[in-house]
Structure 1
Amino acid sequence: MTDLSQAALPDANGYFGPYGGQLVPPHLKQAMDDIAKAYDEIVTRQDFQDELAALFADYVGRPSPIFHAKRLSDQIGGAQIHLKREDLNHTGAHKINHCLGEALLAKFMNKTKVIAETGAGQHGVALATACALVGIPCEIHMGQVDIEKEHPNVTKMRILGCKLVPVTFGAATLKEAVDSAFEEYLKDPTNYLYAIGSVVGPHPFPKMVRDFQSIIGKEAREQFQQVHGQLPDQVVACVGGGSNAMGIFTAFLNDRGVRLVGVEPAGEGLDKPGRHAATLTQGKPGEIHGMACYVLNNAAGEPDAVHSIASGLDYPGVGPQHSYLKDVGRVDYDSVNDQECLDAFMTLSRVEGIIPALESAHAVAWAMREAKKLPQDTHILVNLSGRGDKDADYVAKVLGI
């Protein structure tokens, strides 16, 4: 049986099977190697681990609880749905987990500026927060479409003191924000740190972000066993780049009796190229943003246009570890369309009083769909990766509330 643990993956060159690596120009390879070396050094230091643990507890508010969505489960019938409440973290999502780690790494490496992209704005807010905490200038690149859609997060980033760079070329969404941020980073990779917002990009970022996010799964595994005397039957999370999913999946990868499910955005339909972002469902192995992974390409071989109602999921690539886990059959990848996402958003809000992020609502929608088919003693654990404050005005406008 293949060992899928953190210790086993990736290999020394940053590969998860055929995926990952450092597909960057020669002058950038040294910068990536320097980050990898610094990360490997800092994570072995007890003072770093103690500082991060203290921030997780006293700043983020960890551990995040697991909530049994009993009214929702009863209304649907079938399996019991449980929520890992990452939405209760400081800044409202799981993103703060790796942003604190990246900000501390930037401080350790004496970087003069931290640069990042953001889609829904959760990574941007979390990184601006972490940089304010450690005292490092922060620059966030965000697509103009997402700036207009996620106005509450834009306001927070500006209040927190970051420089917000609107990206207006192309589709003006997440992929273009990544392109723009990377271009800025190339101006001075020696003094800047590009704090990638998911388990994507060149090595060591897929490993590093996963490691910081793995606190979710470690907590969830212990919490669920304490309350229920068993592991959950299924663990579900939305997947765009894939950080929240890898965060919760990692602790369960070698528990073969636990089904792991990643839920991608089907957007307006899998039969409509350019109007979904279901990379693992519809894409093929390729290269994007310094890594080998599954990619949605157009006929010309370039990354295709993508769409999701959730700004944090509209990315034509995906984390290399997800690509590997698909190929070896350890994680099942499915999809949920925009309408199902909206229905889950409203149902969870009105049945349990929890307004989820549109990204997280994809995982909730899949759990609602699946629960009907299963016995009542089946337990589905959903990673509720973020709260929907940022989406409330947009959803109200779309639904005419």
Structure 2
Amino acid sequence: MCQTQRARWSFRLQRALAVRHAALRTVLQDVCGLGPADAETELRSSRATLLRHTVAAGPHRAPWRRPRSGTPSPHAPQRPAVVMSHVDGARPLVSLLEGALPALLKGMTVVSETDHRTAVPTLAVLATAREAGLRPGGWAVAVDRRAADLRCVLTEHADEVSPQCCAWDPWRLPPPGLLVLRHDGDARAAARATIWSCFARAGRHCAATPLGAVHDTRLTAFLDHLAREAARFRPATALPHRQWHALLTEWTDAALGAGARPVRTGTPPGRAFPPVPDPILLMAPPHGAEGLPRPPLGPVALLVRFSAWAEVLHLARRTGPHLGVFTRTRLAQLSPQLAGLASPHIQLNAAPNAGLPPGLAHAGLGM
């Protein structure tokens, strides 16, 4: 297909997925363990992702040309590169489209790596894409219960790895994201964002910020708002795997043993899988979070109090790619200080957003 035909295919895919809205919502809840609200949010986000990537790769864009090494033979066949992407179990539809669409819309072949929990929605989208007119062999799925081993094999043999937000390292957990309430920030808004970014989808989506830093002067107001927000929160999304239930219990016991105190601890879930635990809120000991084990995947919020902005910058240098800062200070004043951080996703006065902007995705595929 030419570029215009691929854009038309993408719009047909949008319509076809809209028709299957109810079926996909059922799959997200029954197979992937997402709660009703999280499933609806995932469906809305997937439609927005599909539209943004389609517009970003429209026919007005320059065609993609595969990078070449040396001087190839003039008779060498022009074949699209093979791109590997992965599916995040907390964002099964959005991460699938985020990793595959930029490459598919440039005529490349995609292999999407998934596990047994995300295989059903992945295969449903793939079947819909073929019905919408995707060329044969353009998109394949690799399913394995040992996702880390499968990812290593695919990465070795693929020509490209699709740029995706918070791509998982098979050998270690990613560092936690950070949410900061400065001395001049809105405590109520920060409390609401903490509930969303720590506990939504069982605290396991890529923009989760299980680590929160709160200024001493805002701590009392923040905890009051957080207690009210947490009392209204009703967890519905399950943990990704059985072992995370045990990891949550072990981490909570270790943190309490190291001096953390409970702000609110969740009720241990029943034995039925998938488990849906209540949120866990802990206040770090006076020495901070450095001596505590890293928070695991799950609905966890570990709060750290600070009195100097330098403490936050020191903490942010060892946290993940997502950072949220609640403040009334102008961005122009904060930018020189935040520029030295590794976090590419910095959000002011809001919870961080999951996902990679379409422009960055296209830039990573030779655009």
- Shorter-chain TM-score bucket reads 0.3 to 0.5
Relative to the length of structure 2, the TM-score reads 0.34
Higher relative contact order (CA 8 A, sep 6+): 1
Greater Rg by CA: 2
